[in-house]
């Protein structure tokens, strides 16, 4: 049964509405300091008391390991919130044409290949100038591309294309498993080269199944 906002104080309801609006506008929740500044609450302990109450009543969940670790569960009217009902950025009004939705299709290995996940976990709304059309995003596992500035848990933006040039950073499927590496076609085989001097390349001979999913065109990293 959906909760009713009658179990919320006026301040708790206002804070919950602010959380929803902030996520819709920015794509991520506000920090404790931002909540305090917005509502004139001087101490983070005071903010934390309100967030604990919202969590106890089932409207949010929190992660102590993340600086902005607030997940919205229900709106103040009791409606359940999901990634599809809480937008990651405002695709409304006359500026909507300047934004594109990029699906996050799971994880890719910056290390040994891992099974690809091709169901959209979420969608990001981004400025159209930031990513090419027909792009998708993957979250990175592993450290094999750290010297190219691609770190674990980064999101990489990938332009769909069936071929890449030597030296491009590619997302490739090796016998059904996905990896991100620099691509080098060496004639009878392809070398998938990591950007980590402590790791060895992956050599894919001509008799193995290999498919290019696209070229990496950008990286996004959350700062907590």
pLDDT tens-digit map of 186-221: 999 999 999 999 999 999 999 999 999 999 999 987
CB 141 within 8 A of CB 110: yes
Q: What is the mean pLDDT of the chain?
A: 80
Q: Average the pLDDT over each of 1-10, 17-26, 152-161, 206-215 and give the range with the smallest value.
A: 1-10
Catalytic, out of 160, 181, 211, 215: 181
In sign, the C-alpha dihedral spanning 144, 147, 148, 151 is positive
Residues 55 and 115 occupy one common structural domain: no
Total structural domains within the chain: 2
Quick one: pLDDT at residue 85? 46
Q: Does residue 79 form part of some domain?
A: no
What pLDDT band is residue 158 in, cutting at 50, 70 and 90?
Answer: very high
Kind of pairing between the strands at 210-220 and 60-62: unpaired
Residues 56 and 115 occupy one common structural domain: no
Contacts of 175 (CB under 8 A, 6+ apart): 113, 208, 209, 210
Residue 216 burial (CB < 10 Å; 0-12/13-18/19+)?
buried
Asked about 84 being catalytic, the answer comes back as no
What pLDDT band is residue 65 in, cutting at 50, 70 and 90?
Answer: very low
Q: Residue 82 has which token pair?
A: 């999901």
Catalytic, out of 87, 144, 211, 215: 144
Asked about 3 being catalytic, the answer comes back as no
Residues 50 and 108 occupy one common structural domain: no
Residues 62 and 142 occupy one common structural domain: no
Quick one: pLDDT at residue 151? 93
Residues 18 and 49 occupy one common structural domain: yes
**3-state DSSP percent of the chain in helix, strand and coil, to 5:** 20, 35, 45
Q: Does residue 32 form part of some domain?
A: yes
Nearest to 57 by CA among 8, 13, 20: 8
**What is the mean pLDDT of the segment spanning 141-162?**
92
* Total-model pTM: 0.57
Residues 145 and 216 occupy one common structural domain: yes
DSSP 8-state code for residue 74: B
Domain that holds residue 191: 93-220
Quick one: pLDDT at residue 111? 66
Q: Does residue 162 form part of some domain?
A: yes
DSSP 8-state code for residue 80: B
- Does 180 score more than 80 pLDDT? yes
Q: Does residue 84 form part of some domain?
A: no
CB 135 within 8 A of CB 160: yes
Residue 165 burial (CB < 10 Å; 0-12/13-18/19+)?
exposed
CB 22 within 8 A of CB 76: no
Residues 102 and 208 occupy one common structural domain: yes
What pLDDT band is residue 156 in, cutting at 50, 70 and 90?
Answer: very high
Looking at per-residue pLDDT, the higher value among 91 and 183 belongs to 183
CATH number at residue 63: 1.10.10.10
CATH number at residue 155: 2.10.109.10
Q: For the segment 92-147, what is each residue's pLDDT rounded down to a tens digit?
A: 444 455 677 788 887 887 766 654 445 555 777 777 777 888 888 898 989 999 99
């Amino acid at each position: 049964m959906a909760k009713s906002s009658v179990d919320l104080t006026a301040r708790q309801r206002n804070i919950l509405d602010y959380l929803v609006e902030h996520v819709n506008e920015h794509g991520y929740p506000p920090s404790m300091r931002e909540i305090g500044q917005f509502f004139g609450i001087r101490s983070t302990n005071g903010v934390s008391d309100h967030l604990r109450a919202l969590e106890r009543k089932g409207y949010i969940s929190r992660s102590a390991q993340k600086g902005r670790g607030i997940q919205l569960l229900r709106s103040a009217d009791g409606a359940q919130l999901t990634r599809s009902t809480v937008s990651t950025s405002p695709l409304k009004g006359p500026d909507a044409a300047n934004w594109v939705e990029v699906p996050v299709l799971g994880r890719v290995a910056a290390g040994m290949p891992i099974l690809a996940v091709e169901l959209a976990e979420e969608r990001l709304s981004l400025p159209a100038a930031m990513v090419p059309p027909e792009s998708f995003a993957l979250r990175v596992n592993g450290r094999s591309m750290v010297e190219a500035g691609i770190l674990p848990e980064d999101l990489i933006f990938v332009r769909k294309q069936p071929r890449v040039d030597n030296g491009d950073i590619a997302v490739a499927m090796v016998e059904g498993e996905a990896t991100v590496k620099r691509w080098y076609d060496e004639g009878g085989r392809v070398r998938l080269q990591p950007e980590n001097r402590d790791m060895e390349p992956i050599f894919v001979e001509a008799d193995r199944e290999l498919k290019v999913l696209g070229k990496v065109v950008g990286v996004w990293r959350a700062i907590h």
